[in-house]
Structure 1
C-alpha cells in the first residue's frame, strides 16, 4: 500500500491516471447515452428484422432489356446466390478479412480507429469498419452532432452492427451489404454498379470487373473508373494482392488477371442521358397516373422510386439506338447548312426584337421582374458571365458565357421529333422527343403541337375518295383567289411559271403535293366532310374552318398524326400509340396489363385505303419523296408524304411500311425562326433524311427483316382500274382560248 501512496504522490502519474479514468468515463458516458437514445432512437432487433430498402423501378424494352430506372438511390437487390464467389472473396479480403470470425465489431481495428482517428486526429488512419459496421452506416446513415460526431456515429453503428449480427447470418449480411453499398456515380448496390460500369448483371462479373468495383469502395470518387481508369486499375491490383495474401487467389491466377486491362462498357441510367431519355420521361409521367389507380394488398400506394417495380414497354432498344444515330447524323449536317445559309444575318444574332422577346420569356427574367428589379438591373444580372456547359453537335464545351449569350446560342438550334409505331397495335418502337434531353427538355412527340403542312393533304384526299370522288378526277393547277377569305390565293411552292391549262389527277396532285389542287379538292368535298374524316382518324384538335386547312395550317400533335397515318396499313382503323405493356411488382407479379387501343370501326372504306396507299407509294417512287430511291437507295415497300409549312418553319416526313409507321419533324422551337430557304427547309430535305438513314440501318440488320422485307398487299382490280389514267391532261383548245388566266370564287 505504501508503494501505491508513493506512486500516487507523483503528480504526473496521478494526473495521468485521472486523465485515463476521465477518458474511460467519457467514452462510457457517450456510449450509454447513445445506447439509451439520447442522440436518436436506435433500431431495435424487431425493427432490424424488417429491413426494407428503397428499390429502383426498372424500365425494360420489348425484349426485357433494361433501358432505364427511376430511383432515389440507384439500387437493384439480388439474392446471395446471384453473387459470384470471386466477388465475395474480393470484398472480404479487402474490406473485412476477419468477417467470418467477429460478431460485427473487429475490436483490434476499432481500437486503432479510436487511438489514431479520435485521439490523435489522424484522418488518414482508416475507418476500421467491418462489413457489418459499414452495413449499419449504409442502412441508417450518419448525422452531424457538432461535437464528437465521429465517436457518436461509431458507437451507434457498433450497437446496430451487434444487433444485425444477432439476427442475420453472414450470408444475409453480405447480401444486405452488397445490395446497399454505394459505388461511384451515385450508384447503390452491386447489381446497379455492374450494369452501369460493365453493362452486365453482377452474376456475370469476371475477376477483374468484380475487383475493380470492390476497389472503388475505399473512395468512390477517387477510384471511379469512369473518371480515372488508370488509378482504378491500380486499385484493382491492390484488391488482387489482398486476395492473394489471404488465400483467395493463387499466384498464377494473380499474374493472369493483373495482366488484363479494365475495360468499361459504361451505360448510364441517369434520367437525362442514355438511351431514349424522352421516352423514359414520358413513361414516368404515365406511371404517375397509373399508380394512382392501383394499390398494394395492404391498401397503400405504390412508390415509383422505392418499390422496385418492373415496367415492361414496347420500345425496341436496338431500333431506338439506330434511330438516334440516324437523327444525330442528319441533324449535325443540317444544322451546319442552316447556320451557313443565314451567314451574317442570322436572326439569333441580328434580330434584336426576337432576342428581346426571348429574353423576357426566360424564367430568370420573370423571377427578377417579379422581385422588383428594374429592366437595367435585370439585363445586368443576365449579362454576368460564368462557366457554363453548352451543347454542340461537334462536342459539348464549357465556356464563360452569360445567360443572354447562352440564350442566343440555343436559339439557333434545330430540334426534332420522331416516332415509330407498329400500325396494327400502336406499340411504340422508337421515340425521339428532341436532339438532347440534357439541354432540351421539351418533348416534341408528346408535348408539342406544330403546323403539319402538306402531311394533312392525304386526309383531304381520303375524305374526297370516301365521299365519291374518283381517283381520275382532274383539277387545274391554276391559282384561285377565294374572295370570302381575305382574297386568299394559295400558290404552289417552286412553280411560279405553271401552265394554267394543265390538269392533274388526284394521284399526280397528291404525290407532287400541289397546293392549289389540295384546296380545290377540299372545296369540292366540303369542309364538314374533311373535318369529320379527321375526327374519325383520332385527331382531337379542333380544325379551323377555312380553306387553308387543306395546306396543314392546323397544329397537331405528332403522336396523334402517327396514329392517324397507321390507319392506311391497319384496315382503315386509327390507332393510339402506347408505351407500357404491363407493370409487375418486384417479385414479378403482374399488377396491370395494357392492350392496344384502336378505333372501334374503320375510319373509311378499304377501297379508299387502297387508293390512298397506292398514291402515297407514288409519292415515294416519283413524287416529292423520290430521293428515298434516288439519293438513299431504299428499295423497301414505302408509302409516304412530305410536308413543309409556311415560311419554311416546319419540315415533316411520314414513312409508311407494312409493319412500321414513322413520322419525323424538324424545326426551331422558336416559331419566329424558320429555314432560310425552301431548299434546306422543305420536308424532303429536313425531315425525310432521318427516316432514310434509319431505314438504311434497319436494312443492314437481318433482325429487322420482318419490317424491311415486308410488302404491301396487292390492291383490288377495281382500285387498279380506277387509278389507270393519264396523270395529267391539258385543257382543250376552246378552254385555252376563252378561259381566264386567274379565277376568283367563293369557298
Structure 2
C-alpha cells in the first residue's frame, strides 16, 4: 500500500504588500508635500511673495467727495472700487458672510480640514470646502479655475498656500474686509462700498439685515444672482442666507421668517460717468485732474492714474445744495420747455425751432452744426469716410435713444430718426447753467451745467459763454459810484440820450432806447437799476468811459474779451456763469474778490495729502462801494423785475403764465440783492441773486440765438431764469441742515454815502412795467 502524501499548512506572506502599501502611502504623502513645495516655489506658476501679499494689486477708483462727506461720483475704467475698513462693515454683513461661506472661519488658519475632508468623501455633493481666505486668494491672484482637472488641482494647491500666507499676513478682520472690497457685484458695483451705494443708495455701515443678506447671497455667483435681472432668484438666495444666519444663531427665528417674506426693496442708483449727481461738475473735474496730474508726478517720476490709483478728491460741492439745484432746474425747465414747444410748434412756425431765420439760413446752420458734431468727427477721422458718405449718412434713418421730458422728469425715447432730424430736435431744447458759491470762502456749493449730461454734455457753467444783458449793468453803476462818488439816491434825467460818433471808437452815434420807448422825469440810480432803465445806464458809462468799466470787471475775475465800446453797458459781451458768479461775489464780500474754489484737497489711496488749495483773493473795491452796490441791487427785488421773489404782483399773472413760472409765489422776506438780464429777441435769460453768504447765477437760453420765445412774456430773465433761483433758495431755506443767511448784508463802519432812498423813490417818475406784464425787464438794443 502506497504511503500517503504529507499535507502542510502554509501562511501567506503579506510582507511585500505591507511594504508596498507604506511605500505608496509615504510616497503619496511625499508627493503631496513635494507638490506643495514646488507650488510654493513657483514651479507651477508665479506665486505672490511677501511684498505682493502686503500690497496686492487691485485697481481702485478715484472717489469724489462732497463737503458734507457724500460720494458725488468716481473716476474709473473697469473697476469702480473704493475700499472700506472692517470697522465700516455692519455686524450683520460680516455674520451673514461667515454663516453662509465659512462657518468655522474664526477657528482655522486658512484651510478648513473638516470641510475639506467632507468635500473629498462626498465628491463635493455636500458642499464645497473653500474658506473665505481661499476665496480671497482666488479673487486676488488667479481668478477662475481651469476646466482641465490637473490644472484645477494645481490651482487649488496654490489657493491653499496663498490662503495660509494671507492668514499669516493679515488678521481675520482684514481678510474679511479685503474679500468684501475685491468682489464684483455687477452693474459697476465693484466692492461692497459701490454695491451698497448702487443697489441701496447707502454706505456699507447703513445696511440692514436683509440688505446684507442679499449682497452676501451674490457671492455664490453674481452673474447668476443679478438683482436687476433675476430678482426672484436673488430673493430666494437671500432667504437661504437668512436661514444660515438663523442656523448659526446670528438672528432669531421670528426675524428670519418676517424678513424672508419681504421684497428686495432695491434703490438702484447707477454710478456711471453720465449718471448720478453733479455730472457736469464731474465733467469739469475730469479736466482739472488731468491737468493736475500732468504737473504733479509721483515721487518716482511716474504719473498718477486717475482711473486706477484710488485717489480721493475733496470738493467744495455740498451734496444737499447740489440736489436742491438740480431739482430746481428739473422742475422749471420741464415746464418752460413744454411752453416753448407749444409756442414753437411747426404749425405756428414753419422753421421751428428757429425764429427770425428763413429755410436757407436754417439749412446752413444745420450743416455747420453737422460738421461740428461728434458723429462727423468719428466718421471722418476714425472711420476715414468721405464727406459725401458722411453727409449721406445724416439722411439715413437710424435707431437711437433721444432725450425727452416725461411727467416733469428727464427720460429717453427709443426711436428711429435721421441724424439730421435729431440735430434739429435737440436744438429745440432750451439749455441752462447754474452755479452757487459762498462769497467769503469762494467755495462752489452747486454746479448744474445743463439738464441732462447724457444727452447735453456741453457745460453751460464754465464752457459756455452768452450775452449777459442787464446783469452787466451793476458793473457800470459800481464804476460810476467808485469813480464819481455817487449815491444810490442821486438822480439823473430819464430822457433820450446819445453818445456821439467816434467818442469811444463808435463809427456812429449810439442812442439806446428804454423798454417800451417810455421816458420822463428823473430817477434815482437805485430806481433806474431796479427798472433797468437803459438811458441812465448809458449816461453813466459815458461819464466814466467803457475802459474804466472793463478794468473793473477784469479785477472782478472776468477774463472774457470785452470790447471798449459803450454798448457793453447794456450787456453785449459773452460771459460765463462761472465768471459772473465770481464777480458778483465781490459785492457780497465787501469788495474782496475770491477766486472760485472747487477742490480743497487731493489724497492718495493711503490718505497722504498730495494737494491743498490756497485761497486767491484781492481787494477790488472799498467795503463802502461794494455795500452801496448791494443796496442798489436790493432795489431790484424790492420794486423791480425781481420783485416776484417777494410774492408781489400776483394778481398780474395770468393763470396759464403761473403754470409755467415754477414755485411762484416765492414769498421770500429776507434781504436779497439781484439783477435780471434779457438779451435781444429774448435769446438769453439771466438772474443773479445774492444773500450775504451765497451768490447764485442762472442762465437759460437755446443752443443757437435763433432759438427763443417769440415774445417777452416768457422770454425775459425774470421768467426763464429767476424761477430756478427762487425754487432753489426756497429749498435751501427749508433744509434746516444748511446755514443759508436770512439776515442783512454787513454794513461797513463809518458809511458816508446815503443808501436810504425811500423818499426819493416815492417821488421818482416810474414808467416801468409791472412784473408779469408783457414788457421786458431789460433789453440791450
TM-score (norm 1): 0.83
Question: 1:656 aligns to what?
Answer: 690
Change (3 A) 1:258 1:610: same
Aligned pair count?
A: 690
Between the aligned partners of 1:376 and 1:614, the Cα distance in structure 2 is 60
The whole-number CA distance in structure 2 between the counterparts of 1:491 and 1:228 is 67
State the partner residue of 2:316.
314
Is 2:486 the partner of 1:465? no
Match of 1:25 in 2: none
CA positional deviation for 1:49:
4.0
Hey, what's the Cα distance between the residues in 1 that align with 2:673 and 2:67? Answer: 26
Q: 1:249 to 1:40 in 2, by over 3 A?
A: same
Q: Which of these residues, 570, 584, 607, is aligned with residue 565 of structure 1?
A: 584
Question: 8 Å contact 2:684–2:700 — kept in the other structure?
Answer: yes
Shift of 1:58: 2.7
Cα separation, partners in 2 of 1:151 and 1:329, compared to 1, 3 Å: farther
Tell me which moved more, 325-334 or 343-352: 343-352
Question: Are 2:471 and 2:688, in contact at CA under 8 Å, matched by a contact in 1?
Answer: yes
Find out whether 1:68 has 2:46 as its counterpart.
no
Corresponding residue SS for 1:666: strand
Following the alignment from structure 2 to structure 1, what is the Cα–Cα distance between the partners of residues 590 and 734? 29
Matched residue of 1:445: which SS? Answer: coil
Q: Could you tell me how far 1:196 is from its partner in structure 2? A: 2.8
How far does residue 665 in structure 1 lie from its aligned partner after superposition?
0.7
> What displacement does 1:552 show?
1.4
- Match 2:634 to one of 614, 617, 624: 617
CA contact (8 A) 2:398 2:416 kept: yes
Equivalent in 288, 291, 300 of residue 290 of structure 2: 288
In structure 2, C-alpha distance between the alignment counterparts of 1:42 and 1:402, rounded to whole Å: 56
After TM superposition, the score normalised by the length of structure 2 is 0.79
Deviation at 1:177, TM superposition (A): 1.5
Secondary structure in 2 aligned to 1:636? coil
Partner of 2:140: 139
Check conservation: 1:312, 1:582, Cα contact below 8 A: yes
The alignment partner of 1:347 has SS state of: coil
Q: For the Cα contact (< 8 Å) 1:632–1:692, is it kept in 2?
A: yes
User: Residues 170-569 of structure 1: matches in 2 within 5 Å?
Assistant: 170-245=172-247, 249-294=251-296, 301-344=303-346, 345=349, 346-348=351-353, 351-369=362-380, 373=385, 376-394=388-406, 395-468=411-484, 470-471=486-487, 472-478=490-496, 480=498, 482-484=500-502, 485-487=506-508, 489-492=510-513, 494-496=515-517, 498-499=518-519, 501-569=520-588
How far, CA to CA, are the matches of 1:401 and 1:96 in structure 2?
55
| Equivalent-residue separation in structure 1 for 2:149 and 2:228 (angstroms) | 30
716, 724, 745: which is aligned to 1:712?
Answer: 745
Match of 1:480, SS state, is coil
| Distance change >3 Å, CA 352–CA 164, structure 1 → 2 | same
What are the superposed Cα offsets for residues 196-232 of structure 1, whole Å, 9 maximum, x if unpaired? 3233332342221111101223343543334554443
Describe the shift of the 1:660–1:730 C-alpha distance in structure 2 as closer, same or farther (beyond 3 A).
closer
TM-align CA RMSD: 3.6
Distance 1:619 1:150 in 2: 81
Aligned equivalent of 1:79, options 80, 85, 90: 85
Inter-partner Cα distance in structure 1 for 2:684 and 2:122? 66
- What's the CA shift string for 1:384-427, capped at 9, x where partnerless? 44442222121322223343333222111111111111111111
Matched-pair contact (CA < 8 Å) for 1:45–1:164: no
Q: Is the 8 A contact 1:610 1:719 kept in 2?
A: no
What residue number does 1:26 align with?
none
Is the CA contact 2:138–2:144 (under 8 Å) kept in the aligned structure 1? no
Rounded to whole Å, the distance in 1 between the matches of 2:328 and 2:238 is 38
1:55 aligns with 2:60: yes
> Any idea what the Cα deviations from partners look like across 1:655-689, whole Å, max 9, x if unmatched?
01111111011112234423332222211111111
**In 2, Cα distance between the equivalents of 1:384 and 1:296?**
50
- Distance apart, 1:52 and its partner CA: 4.0
Match of 1:675 among 698, 709, 712: 709
- Show structure 2 runs of 5+ residues with no match: 1-34, 649-664, 767-781
Segment of structure 1 superposing worse, 302-311 or 181-190 = 302-311
Deviation string 1:678-732 (CA, Å, 9 cap, x unpaired) is: 222211111111001111212323333x42422123573632368863577789x
* CA shift for structure 1 position 588: 3.8
Q: Secondary structure at the match of 2:405?
A: coil
